[in-house]
Amino acid sequence: MRVWALPLALVALVSCVTASVPRRPQQARVQIVPSRPVVVDPLALAKRLRSMQHGWPASRKFDCARLKCVALTFDDGPGEHTVRLLDMLRQRDVRATFFVIGQMVAADKGGRTTRRIVDDGHEIGNHSWSHPPLAELPHEALKKELKHTENIVQRLTGVRMRVMRPPYGSTDDDVAAETRREGLAQILWNLDTLDWQDRVATTVAKRAGAAKPGSIVLLHDIHRSTVDAVPAMLDTLGRKGYTFVTVSELYGRTPAPGRTYTAR
């Protein structure tokens, strides 16, 4: 990814941005003028900077053609166990990709967990509004499933999602065409931990530990047993020399809209 050099004036402004960069939330700063205070909106500022500097803010850069990279992906949240998972990942400086359901985002009080996913530097993706098999929907229903989730996530975080995961892996030509129009790449997986079926942390960790270089691992942060499995999972893969990356980092760029990906 190209690193952009910001003018000094913009560098000063960047320190105010909080809602769309991986750092903890801060209070909006107030600029005092002779007549009245003007509140600087960090979200609006971030959007303006992104429009001026394509690809900003820059993500971490990994050469996964040479490194042993693995992308851990978590579906169906944010849920009651997501904050604990985020704490674990933060402690180990691990980034992952979260494919969120719009209805779960709407139920996230104040959007705090959704915003923290972004603030902590994780990638966030569209997993539809209500988790239907997209390939079975009429076109207008399909469009609403994606658009409603896109809108609520962008309103809460300032981030426009670039990746999505079709529920159940249900996709077809119509889904591909609509995701292309929405600027979303379809991210599937090549390693299914079956954590939704077998709610045993040791079993889930063992299955995830079988990942190969370039794997996209399917997990669900709505299950307590899956979150319980994460420390052992990270230990096992860490001992094998794996680098934990987001989906976009796995490919070294944002995946192409409409295209389907299962592994690097």
> Catalytic residue positions?
75, 220
Q: List Cβ neighbours of 64 (8 Å cut-off, separation of 6 or more).
A: 213, 214, 243, 245, 249, 250, 251, 252, 264
Task: Kindly give the interhelix angle for 224-239 and 82-91, rounded to the nearest 10 degrees.
Answer: 20
C-alpha 258/C-alpha 36 separation (Å) is 48
Q: List Cβ neighbours of 195 (8 Å cut-off, separation of 6 or more).
A: 204, 207, 219, 220, 223, 225, 226, 229
**Number of Cα atoms under 13 Å in the Cβ half of residue 169:** 8
Fill in the DSSP letter of residue 34. Answer: S
CA 262 to centroid of chain Cα atoms: 16
In this structure, are strands 37-39 and 30-32 parallel, antiparallel, or unpaired?
antiparallel
What DSSP assignment string belongs to 98-111? EEE-HHHHHHSGGG
Please, which contacts does 60-64 make with residues 24 or more away whose CB atoms are closer than 8 Å? Answer: 60/95, 60/245, 60/249, 61/1, 61/249, 61/252, 62/243, 62/245, 62/249, 62/252, 63/252, 64/213, 64/214, 64/243, 64/245, 64/249, 64/250, 64/251, 64/252, 64/264
